[in-house]
Structure 1
C-alpha cells in the first residue's frame, strides 16, 4: 500500500553519498524516496509535501552559485513550516549545528559511519511525534 510509505527526500550534491544513503533507507524501511543533487531540484518537488527531508548543508559541489542547504531549508520552511528537515554535514562544528537549528532544522547530523543510524533514530522520533499530535488533534476536535 503506497500511501503507508514514508515519503523521504534526500538532497546532497555528493552522488556517492546520496546513493549510499538511498540504498540504506531502501534496505531498512518502507520509504518512498526521491533524491536530488541540488536544493533547486528539491524545491521543484516540495509541493509533494514529503514526510521528512534530509538536506546537505553545503550543496555547492556541482553547480557554482547553487543555493546552499540553509537557503534551501529556509525556502522549504517558507513553503510549509511543518516539514521536518534534518541537516547533514561533514562539519563537526557546534556553530554549524546551532546555525541550522536557528533556521528551524529539526536536527543536525554529522556525516560519519553512524550517520544512517542517527538519521533513522531521528526520523522514527519525528514520525512518532507527528502521529501523537494527529491523534491528540483528532481527540480535541471531538470534544
Structure 2
C-alpha cells in the first residue's frame, strides 16, 4: 500500500485499484497519488481484492476482465458480485477496454456504480465519479442529520 502523507490516513479516501494489467495498474496508481490525496491499495486479481475487503475501501475501481495473470481467476463481474455480498454499500466502478453498451449494461445490472472505458480520459472520468460519489454521501449524511431533528 502506498499513501501520500499530507493528511492523516483516516481522513483520506481509500481506493482499491484492481487490474491484471500491471502497467495500467501502476499508471492509474501514480495518477491518483499525484492528483489527489488518496490512500491506494492495488491488487492484480479479484481474489486478492476480496481477501483485503476488511481494510474497508471507500471505493473500488475494478477491471472487467481479470484473467491476464491466471486464466482461472474470477472475472470482474464475479468479483463485483462478491464485493456486493460482503458490503452492498461499497461503490464499485468497473473499468474495461471494451467500449460496448452490453458490457456496461451487464456491469450496471450487477450493481456497479459506474462504468468507464480505459482511454486517455479514463482517469479524469474516474476523478469526477469519485467526487460525485462522496458529494452524494455528504448530502445523504446532512439530510439524515436534518431528518433526525424533525
Same fold (TM over 0.5): yes
The count of residues paired between Structure 1 and Structure 2 equals 143
Partner SS for 1:101: helix
Q: Is the aligned partner of 1:125 residue 2:132?
A: yes
Q: Is the aligned partner of 1:73 residue 2:68?
A: no
Match of residue 115, structure 1, among 122, 135, 144: 122
Q: Which whole-Å CA distance do the structure 2 matches of 1:15 and 1:24 have between them?
A: 14
TM-score after normalising by structure 2: 0.93
Match of residue 31, structure 2, among 24, 28, 34: 24
Q: Which whole-Å CA distance do the structure 2 matches of 1:41 and 1:97 have between them?
A: 24
Partner SS for 1:113: coil
Gaps (5+ residues) in structure 2? 1-7
Q: Which whole-Å CA distance do the structure 2 matches of 1:90 and 1:32 have between them?
A: 25
Q: CA RMSD in A?
A: 0.8
Gaps (5+ residues) in structure 1? none
Match of residue 17, structure 2, among 10, 14, 18: 10
